[in-house]
């Protein structure tokens, strides 16, 4: 072989069968080969296992999919290039012209956009409710034929807790599918409920280090199979190296979650006692409106703490005075983050919906990291007092 040929057909260095890599190798390959045409045809007809093209399937992605499905307690998963791609696929794939969707004012803004602007162009109607108003959800499901209910709990950023048992029961009785964006609660929560489809942004707690984006759709094998063809042509495929990084982040998921939520509870309790804080929204506090519900349906109260500053504290100055909390969007990293209300204002909502969403200029959302608890409390204290 002459050098240009060798450079394109590199030597193979295979590990012996009994000498495997402890960490699975990254299959950073778009294409997979077969020894002969007959085998390739068998694969195309679905008559043998294997891989052909990474937009359709890839072993590194498959490994992550198997792990995530098991963590969420379902039997199948599709990983996607981002969290929004995971939210959008069930909406695009499962809704038809004339279908009706229920969604909530307290949801992630791009999810609202997808339903209200994009699906509306294709004749899908919707009803927007407040996630706190379970009676209205039940009434709507009983009176309007509905294809799908998409919801989040705890909600962002006000941490309202949805009554999953009542919502899923009402949806099941009405023949509607439920899609739960479980990004805030995590894979270790909510698997026991009769939710049809879980979606997650892997960008947050799964990867945990703020350096990679991804999403996941987790459901029964039949539901995943019904969306798979649409997924392949939409093309929001996760890159194998991103999948590898997410898989690496997942190894410390439970350790991080445990530490982050312990820090978050300490922060919530500290802020609740603080004279310069008006009110704290954290499902782990007895003062939270749905504390009992949260305790019943979640294993922990999460690592987001939202609160209202006293009138005498300037929100921008407070955020800028913090040393350990970076002013940044997103959440779930090992380092703590802060978002003042002005950066989270929902611009697409009417007055009533904005009231449901509940964000004011005095609202502060904290994403709590794995730093030392005392350091976090003293940083918050100095920033509150730095008027």
Ligand X SMILES: Cc1ncc(COP(=O)(O)O)c(C=O)c1O
Give the interface with ligand X as residue ranges (CB under 6 A): 82-84, 87, 108, 152, 156, 181, 183-184, 201, 203, 213, 215, 330
CA–chain centroid gap for 176, Å, is: 22
Contact residues for 362 (Cβ-Cβ < 8 A; gap 6+): 278, 308, 309, 311, 315, 341
Judge contact between 333 and 210, C-beta under 8 A: yes
CB of 207 vs ligand X, minimal distance in Å: 9
Tokens representing 98? Answer: 């004339």
If you write DSSP's letter for every residue of 280-316 in order, what string do you get? EE-TTSTTSTTHHHHHHH-SS--SEEEEEE-TTS-HH
CB of 305 vs ligand X, minimal distance in Å: 15
Assign 54 to helix, strand or coil. coil
Name the residue nearer to ligand X (CB basis): 138 or 369. Answer: 369
Judge contact between 69 and 250, C-beta under 8 A: no
Name the residue nearer to ligand X (CB basis): 359 or 384. Answer: 359
CB of 87 vs ligand X, minimal distance in Å: 6
CB of 331 vs ligand X, minimal distance in Å: 7
CB of 2 vs ligand X, minimal distance in Å: 46
Could you identify the residue written with the tokens 């940083």?
379
If you write DSSP's letter for every residue of 167-214 in order, what string do you get? HHHHHHHHT-EEEEE-TTT-TTSSTTS--SEEEEETTTTTT-SSS---
Name the residue nearer to ligand X (CB basis): 85 or 94. Answer: 85
Decide: residue 31, CB within 10 A, 0-12 exposed, 13-18 middle, 19+ buried. Answer: exposed
CB of 259 vs ligand X, minimal distance in Å: 21
CB of 152 vs ligand X, minimal distance in Å: 5
Judge contact between 89 and 217, C-beta under 8 A: yes
Could you identify the residue written with the tokens 């981002």?
82
CB of 236 vs ligand X, minimal distance in Å: 10
Name the residue nearer to ligand X (CB basis): 81 or 313. Answer: 81
Name the residue nearer to ligand X (CB basis): 208 or 274. Answer: 208
Name the residue nearer to ligand X (CB basis): 89 or 277. Answer: 89
Name the residue nearer to ligand X (CB basis): 51 or 184. Answer: 184
- Residues facing residue 340 across a β-bridge: 364
Closest-CA residue to 315 (of 267, 373, 359): 359
Name the residue nearer to ligand X (CB basis): 157 or 284. Answer: 157
Q: What is the 3-state secondary structure (H, E, C) of 310-370?
A: CCCCCHHHHHHHCCCCEECCCCCCCCCEEEEHHHCCCCCCCHHHHHHHCCCCCEEEEECCC
Residue nearest to ligand X (CB): 83
């Amino acid at each position: 072989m002459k050098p240009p040929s060798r450079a394109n057909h590199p030597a193979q260095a295979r590990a012996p069968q009994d000498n495997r890599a402890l960490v699975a190798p990254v299959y950073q390959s778009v294409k997979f080969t077969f020894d002969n045409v007959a085998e390739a045809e068998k694969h195309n007809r679905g008559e043998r296992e294997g891989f052909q093209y990474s937009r359709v399937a890839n072993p590194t992605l498959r490994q992550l999919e198997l792990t995530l499905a098991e963590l969420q307690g379902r039997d199948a998963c599709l990983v996607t290039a981002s969290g929004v791609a995971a939210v959008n696929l069930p909406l695009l794939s499962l809704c038809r012209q004339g279908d009706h969707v229920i969604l909530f004012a307290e949801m992630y803004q791009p999810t609202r956009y997808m339903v209200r602007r994009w699906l509306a162009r294709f004749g899908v109607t919707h009803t927007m409710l407040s996630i706190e108003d379970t009676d209205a959800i039940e009434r709507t499901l009983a009176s309007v034929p509905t294809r799908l209910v998409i919801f989040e709990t705890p909600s962002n950023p006000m941490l309202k807790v949805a009554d999953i048992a009542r919502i899923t029961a009402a949806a099941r009785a009405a023949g509607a599918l439920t899609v739960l964006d479980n990004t805030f609660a995590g894979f270790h929560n909510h698997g026991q409920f009769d939710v049809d489809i879980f979606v997650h942004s892997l960008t947050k707690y799964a990867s945990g280090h703020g350096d990679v984006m991804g999403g996941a759709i987790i459901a029964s094998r039949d539901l995943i199979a019904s969306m798979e063809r649409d997924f392949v042509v939409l093309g929001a495929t996760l890159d194998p190296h991103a999948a590898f990084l997410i898989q690496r982040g997942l190894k410390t998921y439970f350790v991080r979650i445990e530490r982050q939520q312990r820090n978050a509870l300490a922060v919530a309790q500290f802020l609740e006692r603080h004279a310069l804080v008006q009110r704290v929204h954290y499902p782990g506090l007895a003062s939270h409106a749905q504390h009992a519900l949260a305790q019943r349906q979640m294993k922990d109260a999460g690592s987001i703490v939202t609160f209202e500053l006293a009138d005498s504290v300037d929100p921008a100055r407070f955020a800028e005075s913090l040393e350990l909390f970076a002013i940044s969007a997103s959440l779930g990293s090992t380092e703590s983050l802060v978002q003042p209300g002005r950066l989270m204002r929902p611009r697409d909502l009417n007055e009533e919906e904005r009231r449901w969403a509940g964000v004011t200029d005095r609202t502060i959302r904290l994403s709590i990291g794995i730093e030392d608890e005392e350091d976090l409390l003293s940083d918050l204290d100095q920033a509150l007092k730095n008027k």
